[in-house]
A and B are shown apart, each in its own frame.
Chain A
Amino acid sequence: MNAVAATAGIGVSPGFMKSTGHGLFNFFAGLAILFALWWIGIFLVTLDPSMASFASFGPAPAFRAVGTLWHEGLIQTAIWTSGSRLGIGLLIAIGIGVPLGIFMGRNRTFGELSNTPFQLMRMISPLSWEPIAVIVFAGWDQAIIFLIAIGSIWSVAFSTAAGLAKVDPNWFKVARNLGASHWHILTQIIVPAITFDVLTGIRLALGVAWIVLVPAEFFGVTSGLGYTIEDARESLAYDHLMAMILVIGAIGYVLDGIILRLIKRYSWHRGG
């Protein structure tokens, strides 16, 4: 994974985080343009009377449906269920990916040995593991968590290793010189030095996990954001479908914003 590419996106901060009025205006203006294009698209499609039933794909029915679904508690339940799967999957990915990345970065032989296999694994679409996951795991929940973990682990591991590669070896010399133990070197030098890169890897992992989550929930389970969309499609409730798409987009955006804040909080690179 390319750490430079990974960090490049950091400059593009969510509009609402900018404190300037100008940033806030652009934030709402951008959203207004998106919704306007959405409305125009549906309006043009429904000009043909035979396509009139597609009107419920429009923004107004979608926003109304968000209110209805929220009132019924469906959105909250779906967020909680999907969020739990996402959270557990990501935690597993971080729990394995960070130590793996540290080992890749610290042990040259392991780093070289693991590079090709891990790059290869990284390029496998996580969803292609689904048939195997379903066979291996007893429940669909575990299978979905596995898909999220297997999709996210590589970004975390490669970012961690890339972060470690940038650590100045002189810091270890200075620390040893001042009486640091191995534990001190890990907690006081390595961890703060690479937190920025680890979080960048987690941000990429979240992006992958969020994309994997919805299709992974299309089959087998009877809860979650993906299931709710699939259910809406089958019952031809297009306004509900679009409402869930809105919810997925909004949550993904907020989660990304939270990690971005953490990245900025823990970044010690000047001008970064």
Chain B
Amino acid sequence: MTVRGVHIKIQDLTHRYTAKSPICFEKTNLEAKRGEALAIIGRSGCGKSTLLHIMAGLLKPTSGAVYLDDELVDKPSPRWVMMFQAPHLFPWMKVSQNVGIGLHFAGWSEAKKRDRVAEAINLVALQDYAENNVQDLSGGQQQRVALARSLVMEPEMLLLDEPFSALDAFTRAALQRDVRSIAKRLGINLVIVTHDIDEAVLMADRALIMAGSPGKIYDELDIDLPDPRERQDPTVQAMRARLMEAFHKAAGGAPAGGASCNGHEEPEIGNGGSAKPQVVSAAAMKKGKKG
């Protein structure tokens, strides 16, 4: 599988769902290098998930634009695919059929498809389950199928919307490690939206802290740690503490809104032992994004 990353450029992105609804985020700017793993951390309702949907071309922004290597993202494409919180597999299909569905949409021949699907299934270590119905699989295995379904398209960018938050701690840890290692091996850009600080430290090269209402990127931190990253490693723990501190600082200073920008709160889900980020004060603060 030959995959390459892409240069991401987000320019003055502003979004509100309807003219009357609150602004999700305003004039957000962001750049990411080819092959970079980026984590966007924020509380539920800060607009991070909306930002990801816009990056995937699943939602049109109110203003501003997302460019991938100077190509405007204005619709979904197999080149930039998204993994959701739940795997959303097609339950009437086998693992191999689920993985190959994108190639089927692209009109690939059965023979060509078979090889590529087998490769993607091997990548997520599910070769023994290729001919099983996806309903026979555990939650973690199903999320692996969803990962293979995304990777089979050889995307330039993989967008992850809290994809492991519904999984148990062990499965989550294994998938966090595997997704990062696969993305690094293939050179894909990762953009992970999460409210789990640990997840950001374990998976990303750089963490952006989004807070407030309307949401803004308040801070960013390079996560320059060697692979593989282990939760108990003192350097990982130290980075986690730094990120947590930065998060509290940003969240504490951000103006806290009431309801989220899309009118409903995202579910707060446990994050495997790490303390949950909390907004401690509602004092207003001017935009504090670095660099």
Q: Which residues of chain A have a CB within 8 Å of any CB of chain B?
A: 168, 170-171, 173-181, 184, 188-189, 192-193, 266, 268, 270
Residue of A nearest to B98 (CB): A174
Residue of B nearest to A176 (CB): B76
* B105: chain A residues within 8 A (beta carbon): 175, 178-181, 184, 188
Stretch in B29-37, B81-89, B267-275 with 4+ CB within 8 Å of A: B81-89
* A178: chain B residues within 8 A (beta carbon): 76, 78, 81, 101-102, 105, 149, 153
Complex alpha-carbon distance, A175 and B84, angstroms: 12
Is B92 part of the contact surface with A, judged by Cβ < 8 Å?
Answer: yes
* A270: chain B residues within 8 A (beta carbon): 91, 135
Query: Taking chain B's interface residues, is the majority helix, strand, or loop, or is none over half, making it mixed?
Result: loop
Q: List 9 A-B residue pairs with CB atoms under 8 Å apart, sorted by A's residue number.
A: A170-B88, A171-B88, A176-B76, A177-B76, A178-B78, A178-B81, A179-B153, A192-B92, A270-B91
* A179: chain B residues within 8 A (beta carbon): 76-78, 102, 105-106, 153
Q: Taking the nearest CB of chain A, how far is it from the CB of B80, in angstroms? A: 9
Identify which of residues 87-135 in chain B touch chain A, using a CB-to-CB cut-off of 8 Å: 88, 90-93, 101-102, 104-106, 133, 135
A188 touches B76 (CB 8 A): no
A189 touches B90 (CB 8 A): yes
Complex alpha-carbon distance, A5 and B168, angstroms: 36
Query: Taking chain A's interface residues, is the majority helix, strand, or loop, or is none over half, making it mixed?
Result: helix
Q: Taking the nearest CB of chain A, how far is it from the CB of B83, in angstroms? A: 9
Complex alpha-carbon distance, A184 and B86, angstroms: 22
B92 touches A177 (CB 8 A): no
Is B56 part of the contact surface with A, judged by Cβ < 8 Å?
Answer: yes
Complex alpha-carbon distance, A188 and B58, angstroms: 20
Q: Taking the nearest CB of chain B, how far is it from the CB of A221, in angstroms? A: 42
Known: A178-B101, A179-B78, A180-B105. A168 touches B88 (CB 8 A): yes
* A177: chain B residues within 8 A (beta carbon): 56, 58, 76, 78, 81-82
Q: Taking the nearest CB of chain A, how far is it from the CB of B205, in angstroms? A: 24
Q: Taking the nearest CB of chain B, how far is it from the CB of A205, in angstroms? A: 23
* A189: chain B residues within 8 A (beta carbon): 90
Complex alpha-carbon distance, A57 and B78, angstroms: 69
* B93: chain A residues within 8 A (beta carbon): 192
Known: A179-B105, A184-B105, A188-B104. A174 touches B91 (CB 8 A): no
* A188: chain B residues within 8 A (beta carbon): 90, 101, 104-105
Specify which of A179, A180, A181, A270 lies most central, judged by the most chain B CB atoms within 10 Å of its CB: A179
Complex alpha-carbon distance, A193 and B92, angstroms: 7
Residue of A nearest to B136 (CB): A270
Q: Which 10 A-B pairs have the closest CB atoms?
A: A178-B102, A268-B92, A170-B88, A179-B78, A180-B105, A179-B105, A176-B76, A174-B88, A192-B92, A177-B76
Residue of A nearest to B104 (CB): A188
* B101: chain A residues within 8 A (beta carbon): 175, 178, 188
Identify which of residues 31-59 in chain B touch chain A, using a CB-to-CB cut-off of 8 Å: 56, 58
Complex alpha-carbon distance, A193 and B56, angstroms: 25
Q: Taking the nearest CB of chain B, how far is it from the CB of A68, in angstroms? A: 48
* B104: chain A residues within 8 A (beta carbon): 184, 188
Complex alpha-carbon distance, A73 and B194, angstroms: 74
Identify which of residues 131-151 in chain B touch chain A, using a CB-to-CB cut-off of 8 Å: 133, 135, 149
Known: A178-B101, A178-B105, A178-B149. A173 touches B58 (CB 8 A): yes
B78 touches A176 (CB 8 A): no
Q: Taking the nearest CB of chain B, how far is it from the CB of A225, in angstroms? A: 37
* A268: chain B residues within 8 A (beta carbon): 91-92, 133, 135
Residue of A nearest to B87 (CB): A174
* A170: chain B residues within 8 A (beta carbon): 84, 86, 88
* A171: chain B residues within 8 A (beta carbon): 88, 90
* B82: chain A residues within 8 A (beta carbon): 177
